[in-house]
Amino acid sequence: MSLPMTIDRRTKFLILVAILIIWTAALSTMPFMAPWGADLQNVHAYQQCVAGRSPYQVDATTCGDVAGRPFYYPPFLFAFFRWARPLTLQTTMYIWTAFMFASFAGIFYVWARKILREPPSGERHEVVTFCTLLLFQYPFVFALERGNTDTVVVLFYTLAAYLFVRGHVWFAGMAAGLAAGFRLSPAVAVIVMTGGLLWGRQYVGRLTWLRWSGGALMAFVLTLLVFFRESKTYLFDVLPVYAKQLSYAAEYSHSIPSFVGDGFKHYGKVLGVGLLFPWVWAIRRMLARGEVAIAIAGSLAVSTYIQSTSFDYNLISTYPLLLLLFLRAQRTDRWSLLGFGLFAICGDRRLFATPGAKLLTPQLHLALQLAFFVVAALVIARPDEKEGQAQPA
């Protein structure tokens, strides 16, 4: 009896599910901090101690931050968490955890059902299973453990994508600008998308790039003007100092500037361009085919690699792209790109944390992530002739 030479589509899906379940075993190696929600504790501590003052002019030790950190988030983010002021950190974290789960349930639904134009090709339970397993992978659980706030960014960008595919480009840009005002890293996504729209203006209208970038700039500036005094201090005093601080090369970090270090800043910039430019080019080609959704998702996914401090809880911003790649795999029965991406983004960090390792290092892990995004841009930009047609099982 001869063995089958191909694996049917359902078996590929089940293999994917099994791998995602196996990878949850690495969660025990997460760099836990005390208390639960150590990053949100920074916001919570300043909310409770500023008493109407600017959070940027209060000493870190006065507010009781667990790591002696100053407040270095934008003023819009600080104002957003005003509701947490009368609550304990533990209560705040219970509410925030529920918010994160509910938000991503909505995010996945909107991307799969309201933003993506192609009708679903696979069975509905497969999408539900995949999305559920994403919420048990390293980036999301890490975000839960630290009380990360990038969920709001993904919500704003989901709104931006929803509005864009319905032709409301100006308002889509404003939603993206609000994301940038909340946390600065989405500004990179706005720039990447603007570049693609400008290059591909013959496919979407010659002023579409201006409506998108103009809406984004207007909303971003408004988030600063509303909190003018704090914004002035943040932009001219806090941000320049924070932008120079590098994190460290670890299996749970993905900051290009931190990995290359102070002595190779120009090389880091070259790597950054090498990551972003393929997506600008790919977005142009996606626009030619009317695939706006994956263009916006891709621009968001690569945005956190350029900043000087990026830990892997920020990788929840890649989840819309991973979902769209999963739906593409269902539609075309091509799973290799998705598998590569899941390994790079969600794979077992223990592989890259072996003391004294010469090959399986954090640097290799970052290189694999960068390779995935570049390959993804090239593959999505130049689809196979049979793209959009399911392959025989």
- The whole-angstrom distance between residue 238's C-alpha and the CA centroid of its chain comes to 24
Number of domains in the chain: 1
**Domain-located, residue 350:** yes
The one-character DSSP state at 305 is G
First-to-final CA distance of the chain: 20
With tokens 């460290």, the residue in question is: 248
Q: How far apart are CA 130 and CA 20, in angstroms?
A: 9
253 φ/ψ angles, rounded to the nearest 5 degrees? -130, 150
**Domain-located, residue 251:** yes
Burial class (CB in 10 A: 0-12, 13-18, 19+), 330: buried
Q: How far apart are CA 348 and CA 25, in angstroms?
A: 8
Q: How far apart are CA 382 and CA 384, in angstroms?
A: 7
**Domain-located, residue 393:** no
The one-character DSSP state at 242 is H
**2 Cβ contact list (under 8 Å, min separation 6):** none
> Which ranges in the chain belong to alpha helices (H)?
9-23, 38-49, 60-63, 75-80, 89-109, 124-134, 138-146, 150-165, 169-182, 186-199, 201-204, 208-225, 228-233, 239-244, 256-260, 265-288, 292-301, 319-332, 336-346, 362-381
Three-class SS of 62-97: HHCCCCCCCCCCCHHHHHHHHHHCCCCHHHHHHHHH
**Domain-located, residue 55:** no
pLDDT at 325: 96
pTM: 0.94
**Domain-located, residue 28:** no
Q: How far apart are CA 101 and CA 107, in angstroms?
A: 10
- CA 5 vs CA 8, 98, 117, 357: distances in Å: 10, 45, 34, 36
**Domain-located, residue 229:** yes
Q: How far apart are CA 176 and CA 194, in angstroms?
A: 11
**Domain-located, residue 112:** yes
Structure tokens at 298: 């891709």
Q: How far apart are CA 7 and CA 128, in angstroms?
A: 22
pLDDT at 162: 97
**Domain-located, residue 321:** yes
Q: How far apart are CA 224 and CA 99, in angstroms?
A: 25
Q: Do 116 and 293 touch, CB atoms closer than 8 A?
A: yes
Three-state secondary-structure class, residue 289? coil
pLDDT at 4: 53
Structure tokens at 291: 């695939």
Q: How far apart are CA 187 and CA 153, in angstroms?
A: 11
Burial class (CB in 10 A: 0-12, 13-18, 19+), 44: buried
- The whole-angstrom distance between residue 22's C-alpha and the CA centroid of its chain comes to 23
Q: How far apart are CA 156 and CA 158, in angstroms?
A: 5
| Structural domain span for residue 189 | 104-381
Q: Do 352 and 365 touch, CB atoms closer than 8 A?
A: yes
pLDDT in tens, the chain (393 residues): 454 557 888 899 999 999 999 999 989 889 999 999 999 999 999 999 987 788 998 888 888 889 889 999 999 999 999 999 999 999 999 999 999 999 999 999 999 999 987 777 778 899 999 999 999 999 999 999 999 999 999 999 999 999 999 999 999 999 999 999 999 999 999 999 999 999 999 999 999 999 999 999 999 999 999 999 999 999 999 998 888 888 878 889 999 999 998 888 889 999 999 999 999 999 999 999 888 999 999 999 999 999 988 999 999 999 999 999 999 999 888 999 999 999 999 999 989 988 888 888 999 999 999 999 999 999 998 875 444 444 333
